[in-house]
Chain A
Amino acid sequence: MASIMLEGIVKRFGKTVALRGVNLEVRDGEAMVLLGPSGCGKTTTLRIVAGLERPDEGRVVFGGRDVTNLPPKDRNVAMVFQSYALWPHMRVFDNIAFPLKIRKVESSEVRRRVRWAAELLEIEHLLDRYPHQLSGGQQQRVAVARAIVTEPEVLLMDEPLSNLDAILRVKMRSEIKKLQRRLGVTMVYVTHDQVEAMVIGDRVAVMNYGEVQQVGSPQEIYNEPANTFVATFIGSPQMNIVKGVISGGLLSLLGTQIEGVEGVEGEVLVGFRPERIVIGDGDLKFPAIVDFVEDLGSDVIVHLSVEGAGELVIAKLRGAHASLKPGEKVLAGVMRSDIHIFDPKTGRALKHGV
């Protein structure tokens, strides 16, 4: 097992800059999820950890060992590819055994280890098949078995669940989490799915524009987003962000006001999550008109237009509010602790809770 340190990683592809100085520490035995929209640099970061790409600047350190210029084979890593990348000319057994055979492990030990991995992933009955004879979910299990069979220091996963159907994805993501806990292996997991990131990550690194925007536990990222990008990327529907002004501790927004907001002055962006909006209650109340109602059964997504302020606010309410009708007037409210203040120029978070 090993910790991973990325120090000032810069990577360019021709004129495009994929990574602009990524710093990240993955602790020994930790599950770190790289989360971000496509093109944010998360996969490039993973490939640099694997050694499949060389950074133009910066260092990659595994547990004190500088591996920046080592080829993948000398890094003791294993990887689950998005496409699984099973070797089509080998049976499942040989696919799992191949990494061991390369390392010249004795054949009885190879058999024992392959059995162990196959049992763990519940694929013992598939060992004699070829990859093309397996379903997507089965191929995925084989790819994971192949990745853990060598007991690597670092386990890398590149969107491993993105090609599975929704039901299987939910099942596999908890299985992968349990497996990682059980093996205690240091894992870097790339995904664009925030729910997957929250379930699997001990910590999550949210990336955008080739930079790490925030690193923290799923709770921290949800409750204390570092900037408006993280705030709106995490959570569904995304966080409401509206314009506001603070003067002398008085925050004005949405045609209403709230006192006692200390430490910040001037124009700000104010954020609050749709699921934290309550009807007819809260420290900050604002009158609104129902525009549109999306009934999801358990929840209702209500689009509210705020009179006078010209702002649109999305609320996620309990299913009991499904009776709301377009045109209806409501008094929406938010608790002080659920209000986030951001700098309007940099987008940086200034206060969580007012």
Chain B
Amino acid sequence: MRVPSWAGELARYAFLSLLVAWVLVPLAIATIYAFTPLEVYYSDAILPNSLTAEHLRTLWVLGAGEAFVRSVFVGVLTVFLSFLIGLPGGYALSRYVFPGRDAIKLGIIATRMFPIIVISVSLLKTFFALGLNDTLIGLALAHTAMALPFVVLITGSIFGGIPRDVEEAGLVFGLSSIGVFLRVTLPLAAPGLAAAGLFTFLLSWNEVFMASVLTLTNRTLPAFILVSAFATPTEPIRFAAAFLMILPALLFMLFARRYLVTMWAMAAR
């Protein structure tokens, strides 16, 4: 018996629809209920007939605004620091063959074996000694440590995707090694690096364990939400908090989708 061709297509689209729904339905629920008035939410209605920003305002009053700004600050600082340290490392790993190169690569991956929560506790002790406890710089340093392996490996792969002889042409035609890096390598790597940067920002943005352990009054958004919003019994407020958390990631995906594909493609070459 032959299966008609439309049946295959139907099955394919049914599966894809399921997959998309699996991602989109929770997002939609969180977004809709974040703006649903309390009386509607606790009634029998499934969808609201009016929207309200009241829950976001409540979060704001509780301190979500400051937490948001802190998260952005920590995220930006994390990207800056991890690229400052990780970019040269990635370049060296991709371009130079030296003794112990593979061991170093393995070591970098191995650092990810330790659960972040374990590191956070011991870090707190150190941070007390250094006076970095409950500071955003301290948290950014911790996030840098967390993001560094990713930055080294992904930038290494991106640089590895740029042909060596394009750089050598730069050397032959009059540039120094640094000149080649700035005027040939970096422009070619820029799209991939931009995506890696945004990705690193999100790593920091989403990180909640270290943020909760290392800070008390200076909490970033996820840590703030964990202790305040999720402690409230009012569910729409939790949805509003979730919406606040998802928003930057969604915007990022929307704008950087093309670059993300480029980044992974460059890294996979």
Chain A interface (Cβ < 8 Å from any Cβ of B)? 50-52, 71-73, 77-79, 81-83, 85-89, 98-99, 102-103, 146, 150, 156
Contact = CB atoms under 8 A, between A and B. Distances in A.
Nearest to B162: A88
Contacts of B208: none
Size band of the interface chain B makes with A: 10 to 19
Interface stretch (B100-108, B116-124, B134-142, B168-176): B168-176
B176 A71 contact: yes
B136 to A, nearest CB: 37
A309 B184 CA distance: 63
Contacts of A156: 172
A102 B187 CA distance: 16
Given A77-B172, A150-B173, A83 B165 contact: yes
The residue in A79, A81, A85, A88 that gathers the most chain B C-beta atoms within 10 A of its C-beta is A85
Contacts of A81: 165, 168-169
Given A81-B165, A83-B165, A88 B173 contact: no
Interface string B176-198: 11010000100110000000000
The residue in B165, B173, B175, B177 that gathers the most chain A C-beta atoms within 10 A of its C-beta is B173
B233 interface: no
B188 A72 contact: no
Contacts of B169: 79, 81, 85-87
Nearest to B187: A89
B163 interface: yes
Contacts of A89: 187-188
10 contacts: A51-B171, A52-B172, A71-B176, A81-B168, A86-B169, A89-B188, A99-B173, A102-B174, A146-B173, A150-B173
A72 B188 CA distance: 22
A135 B66 CA distance: 56
Contacts of B51: none
A334 B51 CA distance: 103
B171 A52 contact: yes
A130 B177 CA distance: 25
A52 B169 CA distance: 10
Nearest to A81: B165
B166 interface: yes
A103 B166 contact: no
B163 A52 contact: no
Contacts of A51: 171-172
Lowest 3 A-B CB distances belong to which pairs? A102-B174, A99-B173, A85-B169
Interface of B: 163, 165-166, 168-177, 179, 184, 187-188
Nearest to A90: B187
Contacts of B171: 51-52, 71-73
A269 B132 CA distance: 83
Contacts of B165: 81-83, 85
Nearest to B177: A71
B166 A87 contact: yes
A79 B171 CA distance: 10
Contacts of A83: 163, 165
A85 B163 contact: yes
Contacts of A79: 169, 172
B234 to A, nearest CB: 53
B168 A85 contact: yes
A155 B165 CA distance: 17
A99 B172 CA distance: 9
Contact of B172 (A72, A87, A88): A72
Contact of B175 (A73, A82, A150): A73
B215 to A, nearest CB: 42
A73 B168 CA distance: 11
Nearest to A77: B172
Contacts of B188: 87-89
A226 B166 CA distance: 38
B175 A87 contact: no
Nearest to B173: A99
Nearest to A52: B168
The residue in A82, A88, A103 that gathers the most chain B C-beta atoms within 10 A of its C-beta is A88
A208 to B, nearest CB: 25
Contacts of B173: 73, 78, 98-99, 102, 146, 150
